[in-house]
Amino acid sequence: MNVDDIPVPAMAAIRVSKDGKSALFETTIIQTTDNKYIYAMPVRVDEKLVNFEAKGLHKELKIEFAPFEFYVWKNISIIRFVEDGKSYLRIRTTTPGTKAMAWSDKPVTTQKKKRAALIKEQALEAAESARAEGEAK
């Protein structure tokens, strides 16, 4: 699949891997040019922009062309740039996309522990502490 064939706008996911660990981030494709550049909205986690420019990262881009129809571009480069005061991602590829299955990873949306899980954890600790005190008497 060629870059020029990508529908705009399109839902996409960027998977970044290093040392056997990976993370998935969602974005939206907003433009393509020269059959090698893909422009996307920046990725934010906890209101902070994600930097994809670190060295040693393996990056892949998966785009949903239609329901359950995905194409992946591997070995891409991603830079963030600012135009008219707004940030965007420019993704460069030198190879065509290949048909692929959906990724099973869940996208990263926060680095913070979920509040409900934290409250439940604190409640369990308090209950355990109270039970231990009751047994000690």
User: What is 3-110's CATH number?
Assistant: 2.30.110.10
What average pLDDT does the structure give for the chain?
A: 87
The phi-psi region of residue 116 (left if phi > 0; otherwise alpha if psi is between -120 and 50; otherwise beta) is alpha
pTM of the model: 0.77
Whole-number pLDDT of residue 106: 76
Hey, what are 126's tokens?
């308090």
Largest separation between any pair of C-alpha atoms in the chain: 77
Q: Are 28 and 91 in contact (CB under 8 A)?
A: no
Tell me the domain boundaries of the chain: 3-110
Rounded to an integer, what is the distance from CA 38 to the centroid of its chain?
Answer: 16
The tens digit of pLDDT for each residue in 32-89 reads 998 899 999 999 999 899 999 988 999 999 999 988 899 999 989 999 999 999 999 9
Q: Please indicate whether residue 21 or residue 112 has the higher confidence score (pLDDT).
A: 21
